[in-house]
Amino acid sequence: MKYTTIIALTLASLAAGCDLEVGDLNNLPESELQDEPTPTLVNLAATGLLAGSRLEYGFDNGYIAHLSVLGREAYNLDVADPRYRAELLSGPGLDPGSPAFGGNLWNDPYANIHNALNVLNAVGKVDAYSEQEREGLRGFAKTIEALDYFMIVNTRDVNGGFIATSTDIDVLPTPASKDELHEHIASLLDQGAGHLDNAGDAFTFTFSSGYAGFDTPSSFRSYNRALRARVAAYQEDWDGVLSALADSFLDTSDTASMNLGVYHSFSTQSGDITNQLVSNNLYGHPTLATDVDPDDQRFAQKLAQVDSRTLDGLTSDLQFTVYDSTSAPVPIIRNEELLLLSAEAKLRTGDLAGAVADLNIVRQQSAGQDALVADDLDADAVFEELVYQRRFGLLFEGHRWIDMRRWGLIEQLPLDREGDVVHTEFPIPTPEQNARL
């Protein structure tokens, strides 16, 4: 990791206000945070991790938008920039030298990882903190650090990344494979959960509104365990999925809320950033209309028919209504995903009836569909239902491309024009490659 770049971005990732009244996050002195930290400074830096973790997440050329285009959920029909139809959908591969179409979704998560390491280093130097307060900060910072690594491994996949363990600019992070990144995420989350077990009843810092209901050590731990279930699924550790879900906020009741969960928050407040996924340039892929079940109410809830637009051989008359304003929150993880993770883990461990029971909660509570009868289904049919429910239940949340890749089904994604391809991973950015020469 080229830490000269990362440190230059460190304070920038604290700049957004994250819908909080917490003072000036633009001018946190890193040297003071490292050498002479105070409770006020560390608390501000902890809050800043929330702002840093959502950078590039809700941009119209960011994580969800790009992954939705790659996964054939969306088109970006921006007249001003043909690269959305060219580089993302065709060509030999994404460009490692492009800061927006291949070399992106890298600097910001690593900058926030650097911030988290700064918080972890500072915690033990503040005598005013109780040990419970220190444990809360440690558990929080390691959980957010794991969240940032998700963006790295989800985009780079087999290209891997780097594991950073020091804020020292002379200490290069360690190259890591995809499997090693997943293992590191799991380890950070397990360490974080252990810290949160000893963190008392309250944190010392302020959370954004997207963490409402998950802003105490015990409730935040249930969020930590939800993320742990996700990475276990990526590792195909199905017993690990079920174990983590048992300590998460998973709700399997008949009245379960699909939207219970943790969100990145956005606002139009001065200094904050907005949710750009409401862009009029983002269109739904036409296969959403042809592949949806006629009794699935989510299509009408998440998409609207509009005047069609044709650009570079691509046409759509669908636009997303998943996010209804520039202040709309974007899910990090929510109950619907947890139910689908539970269904997947039960399917993989031979519990077909349990998998169907979880899928039926989603069918009834999210899609408005009738329940399935488990005795009528074999494992292949249950998997097909799982694929469908993840597609429409988690639509435009950044999952489809990752799911089809991890299931080995990436070749089933449609190719709309001659010469189109499905890119399977982002490259390591050119500046990063050059720094290692």
Positive/negative CA dihedral, 362, 368, 372, 377:
negative
Q: 200, 230, 246: which is the final residue of a domain?
A: 246
Reduced to 3 states (helix: H, G, I; strand: E, B; else coil), residue 312 is coil
Residue 279 has pLDDT above 90, yes or no: yes
Mean pLDDT, range 179-195, rounded to an integer: 99
Is it the case that residue 4 has pLDDT exceeding 70? no
Q: What is the mean pLDDT of residues 321-347?
A: 99
Task: Please indicate, yes or no, if residue 193 is contained in any of the structural domains.
Answer: yes
Query: Which DSSP state fits 420?
Result: B
pLDDT tens readout for residues 426-435: 999 999 999 8
Provide DSSP, 10-44: HTGGG-S-TT-----STT--HHHHHHS--HHHHHH
Query: Taking Cα atoms as reference points, which of 289, 350, 359, 362 lies closest to residue 319?
Result: 289
Alpha helices per DSSP H over 71-106: 83-86
Residue 80 burial (CB count, 10 A): 6
Residues 221 and 180 in one domain: yes
Grade residue 172 by pLDDT with cuts at 50, 70 and 90: confident
Residue range 289-316: average pLDDT? 99
Q: State pLDDT tens for residues 205-226.
A: 999 999 999 999 999 999 999 9
Q: Quick one: pLDDT at residue 30?
A: 86
HSE at residue 105, side-chain half, CA atoms within 13 A, is 30
243-274, pLDDT tens digit by residue? 999 999 999 998 999 999 999 999 999 989 99
Domain with 312, as residue range(s), is: 279-320
Residue 70 within a domain: no
Overall average pLDDT of the 375-391 stretch:
98
Task: Give residue 235's pLDDT band: very low, low, confident or very high (50, 70, 90).
Answer: very high
Task: Give the DSSP letter string of 318-387.
Answer: EEE-SS-STT--EEEEEHHHHHHHHHHHHHHTT-HHHHHHHHHHHIIIII-PPPPPGGG--HHHHHHHHH
Q: What is the mean pLDDT of the chain?
A: 94
CATH number, domain of 25, equals 1.25.40.390
- With cut-offs at 50, 70 and 90, classify the pLDDT of residue 170: confident
- 400-418: average pLDDT: 99
In the predicted structure, residue 14 carries a pLDDT above the cut 60: no
Same domain, yes or no, for 130 and 231? Answer: yes
pLDDT band at 191 (very low <50, low <70, confident <90, very high): very high
Nearest to 321 by CA among 339, 343, 342, 303: 303
pLDDT higher at 28 or 365:
365
Residues 22 and 125 in one domain: yes
Average pLDDT estimate for 65-91: 98
* pLDDT at res. 403: 99
d(CA 205, CA 217): 12
Whether 123 and 134 have beta carbons less than 8 Å apart is answered as: yes
What is the structure's pLDDT at 168? 87
| DSSP per residue, 185-221 | HHHHHHHHHHHHHTSTT--SSPPPGGGTT--SHHHHH
Task: Give the pLDDT of residue 15.
Answer: 43
Question: 162 phi and psi, to 5 degrees?
Answer: -140, 150
Range of weakest confidence among 162-171, 255-264, 397-406: 162-171
Q: What is the pLDDT of residue 196?
A: 99
Q: Over the stretch 131-164, which tens digit does the pLDDT of each residue have?
A: 999 999 999 999 999 999 999 999 999 999 999 9
Q: Which of 19-33, 86-100, 187-201 has the lowest mean pLDDT?
A: 19-33
Task: Verify that 219 and 284 share a domain, yes or no.
Answer: no
Nearest alpha-carbon partner for 275 in 210, 366, 369, 341? 210
Interval 32-41 mean pLDDT: 94
pLDDT band per the 50, 70, 90 thresholds, residue 87: very high
DSSP labels, 218-279: HHHHHHHHHHHHHHHHHTT-HHHHHHHHHTS----STT--TT-EEEE----STT----GGG-
Task: Please tell me whether residues 289 and 233 are part of one structural domain.
Answer: no
Asked if pLDDT for residue 7 goes beyond 90, the answer is: no
- List of residues 6+ apart from 21 with CB closer than 8 A: none
Return the DSSP state at 412.
Answer: G
The answer to whether the predicted template modeling score (pTM) of the entire model surpasses 0.85 is: yes
**229 in a structural domain:** yes
Residues 210 and 283 in one domain: no
DSSP-assigned letters across all residues of 117-178: HHHHHHHTT-TTS-HHHHHHHHHHHHHHHHHHHHHHHHHHGGG-EEE-----TTSPPEEE-H
Question: Are residues 307 and 228 part of one domain?
Answer: no
Residues 24 and 146 both lie in one domain: yes
- Residue 151 sits in the same domain as residue 288: no
Half-sphere exposure of 401 (CA within 13 A, CB side): 27
Confidence of residue 19 (pLDDT cuts 50, 70, 90): low
d(CA 408, CA 144): 29
Q: Looking at the 3D structure of the chain, how many domains does it have?
A: 2
